[in-house]
Structure 1
Amino acid sequence: MSGNLNEFGITHLRHVDLAVPDYETQRTFYRDTWGLTEEGKDGDLSYFAAEGSPEQYVVRLRQADEKRLDLIAFGADSNDSVDKLAAKLGGEGVQLVGDPGELQTAGGGYGFRFFDLDGRTIEVSSDVATRQHRAVEEGEAIPVRISHAVMNSNDPNATRDWYTKYLGFQLSDSLWSQHMGEMMHFMRCNDWHHSLAIARGPHTSVHHVSFEMRGLDEYMRGTGRVMRAGIKKVWGPGRHLAGNNTFSYFIDPSGNTMEYTTELERLSTDEWHPSLHDIADPNVQDQWGTADPMSEIIARESFNDPDKGVFVAPPV
């Protein structure tokens, strides 16, 4: 897989950090309903880990007056890669939030933050301490790890090109519509089909965040548990064509879409050629045929509110 390694040393998606007004409701949701482990609480911050993942946390919640995406964090293979990437971005006119340094968040590490093309805060870090994790057991319907993050952009092609140019992400596949053009770009930084995807939306916002389950049975049990808890299911269960992964999408209490998935494709060849999939083909949306057909109503659910954090770095 040498050809698919990221040229700037970016290794994987670490965590997605969200600010929410309904903080206690969200804490309860992620812990009791979604199946994450609250590893720690620090004032207005809560850190949630996935039991199967060595990451200190995969979701950070912050109490705030307004809902926003605080940041998306990616891992890097070394402090040297962090320094080189910061120098490259700064030299090419990307707005840095700060210079590389010791991180003050759980697990420490060395990293820096910057704004992407749409104004999201992105963090790249190395040397973050790992946590004690374990193998998720058969029948245990809790997330193993964070899988991917999908973001809305009103110019997804420009955002795709930005991530390719500045962060070395590679395009895996795209979704296309006869009326709307290119609708979603799946981007990879390792051999998973996508760690990031860019969706066409009316404004910059979170489309969804996805969590990998142990297997099909655990994925279905988890889907059922969240449904029984009365959380609104948007779409699924089904299996996408691009990435070949299963999907069940839910709206969390603050209006962000969260996904359970499993069996996301891993690319086993350097000679991967991106496909353009027509979303009018029912198999592109759902190979199983168990989910409702994708509709404008379903699509609108993941437009989310315009993000209040665009080009504003989070306080922590």
Structure 2
Amino acid sequence: MSDRLITHLRHVALAVPDYDRQHEFYTTMWGLTEVEHDSGITFLAAEGSPEQYVVRLRRAEEKRLDLVSFGAATAADVDALADRLIKQNVRIISEPGEVETPGGGYGFRFFDVDGRTIEVSSDVAVRVHRRLEEKESVPVRVSHVVLNSTDINRTREWYEKHLDFALSDTLIHPNMGDMMHFMRCNPQHHSMAIARGPHTSLHHISFEMRGIDEYMRGTGRLLRGGVRKIWGPGRHLAGNNTFSYFLDPHGNTLEYTTELELLDEDAWHPHVYDFTRPEVSDQWGTANPMDEFVAAESFNDPDRGVFVAPPV
């Protein structure tokens, strides 16, 4: 996929009404590091990541997903993608130009088919980061983001056509059809997934841990701290990654994971998995059963940011 213009997931930006409570949760409990703050906006980094930040929190009256940010290799790639999207009648929010957030860079924003704000940028300065040590149970980096859509096949086709994402695997329900598409922009099994939901919203943000031991220690720390667990710990079949899902104070679902599969893209053929089979949802059999109540937790609230660009 040498012609692919998007390289990786950079960060996810959230608007939150209870800003102080969210800030405390993400820094004290979840394990992210504040790198900069200004006028009700906080930029939070993962200790092992070269990205300037992996989560942005913005104080707002309404909860919403502000944007999802992806990387590009060069400014020329940013321009090429912008030109392509304009010709394909994608709604552009801002034309390519200087990015005025930590690390700078060159990028632009646009709406996806469901009305989410997507940002693509290049030339962002590399953050000074470090190798996490054994037993450090804080995120190494952001792993992937999962988005709820009322028509996941339309959304999948949009990302394939306009942004060159590729399908890795699909989860189905024998009576309801396609339930989740795992999409990739690099050899990682998925940097994004599209889940079937009753409305457009954020499903979850996933964070990579150093290893199994650190993943379990982090899961245990959150349980001891009284953070509400939705599902896990376990290991999925699609992606072969571990999972522990929790709710942040505003009901956004977050995941600790590790060992997400890397694919040989030239040889890979997508699988179709029936997620009602227990070994598909959880190979280990250690997680609480996936049922309609667990699934509903990650429907989240309807996104107030559909086709409304964030103010910053």
Question: Hey, what's the Cα distance between the residues in 2 that align with 1:56 and 1:34?
Answer: 17
Shift of 1:8: 3.5
Question: Hey, what's the Cα distance between the residues in 1 that align with 2:174 and 2:278?
Answer: 14
Taking the TM superposition and a 5 Å limit, the aligned residue runs for 1:234-273 are: 234-273=230-269
Shift of 1:223: 0.3
- The equivalent residue for 2:128 is 132
**Which of 13, 21, 24 is the aligned partner of 2:17?**
21
User: Once superposed, what is the RMSD of the aligned Cα atoms?
Assistant: 0.7
- The equivalent residue for 1:114 is 110
Q: Which runs of 5+ in 1 are unaligned?
A: none
- The equivalent residue for 1:101 is 97
Shift of 1:269: 4.4
- The equivalent residue for 2:69 is 73
- The equivalent residue for 2:144 is 148
Structure 1 residues 107-148: Cα deviation after superposition (integer angstroms, max 9, x where no partner)? 100000000000000000000011100001000000000000
In 1, are the aligned partners of 2:9 and 2:69 still within 8 Å (CA)?
Answer: yes
In 1, are the aligned partners of 2:147 and 2:204 still within 8 Å (CA)?
Answer: yes
Matched, 1:171 2:171: no
**Which of 203, 209, 234 is the aligned partner of 1:213?**
209
- The equivalent residue for 1:59 is 55
In 2, are the aligned partners of 1:8 and 1:85 still within 8 Å (CA)?
Answer: no
Question: Hey, what's the Cα distance between the residues in 1 that align with 2:44 and 2:213?
Answer: 23
- The equivalent residue for 1:222 is 218
- SS of structure 1 residue aligned to 2:264: coil
- The equivalent residue for 2:273 is 277
In 2, are the aligned partners of 1:247 and 1:259 still within 8 Å (CA)?
Answer: yes
For the structure 1 residues 204 and 269, does the alpha-carbon distance in structure 2 shift closer, same or farther, using more than 3 Å as the test? closer
**Which of 30, 33, 37 is the aligned partner of 1:37?**
33
- Using structure 2 for the length normalisation, give the TM-score: 0.99
Shift of 1:292: 1.3
- The equivalent residue for 1:312 is 308
Matched, 1:292 2:266: no
Shift of 1:180: 1.2
Shift of 1:268: 2.6
Question: Hey, what's the Cα distance between the residues in 1 that align with 2:15 and 2:27?
Answer: 16
Q: Which runs of 5+ in 2 are unaligned?
A: none
- SS of structure 1 residue aligned to 2:254: strand
- Using structure 1 for the length normalisation, give the TM-score: 0.98
Q: Percent identity, please.
A: 67
Question: Hey, what's the Cα distance between the residues in 1 that align with 2:165 and 2:44?
Answer: 26
Structure 1 residues 153-205: Cα deviation after superposition (integer angstroms, max 9, x where no partner)? 00001000000000000000000001110000000000100000000000000
- The equivalent residue for 1:83 is 79
- SS of structure 2 residue aligned to 1:99: strand
Matched, 1:12 2:11: no
Q: Aligned AA for 2:264? A: S
**Which of 302, 306, 315 is the aligned partner of 2:298?**
302
Question: Hey, what's the Cα distance between the residues in 1 that align with 2:43 and 2:305?
Answer: 20
Question: Hey, what's the Cα distance between the residues in 2 that align with 1:268 and 1:161?
Answer: 22
- SS of structure 1 residue aligned to 2:305: coil
Matched, 1:191 2:187: yes
Shift of 1:40: 1.0
Report the count of equivalent residues: 312
Q: Aligned AA for 2:294? A: I
The runs of 4+ residues in structure 1 deviating greater than 6 Å are none
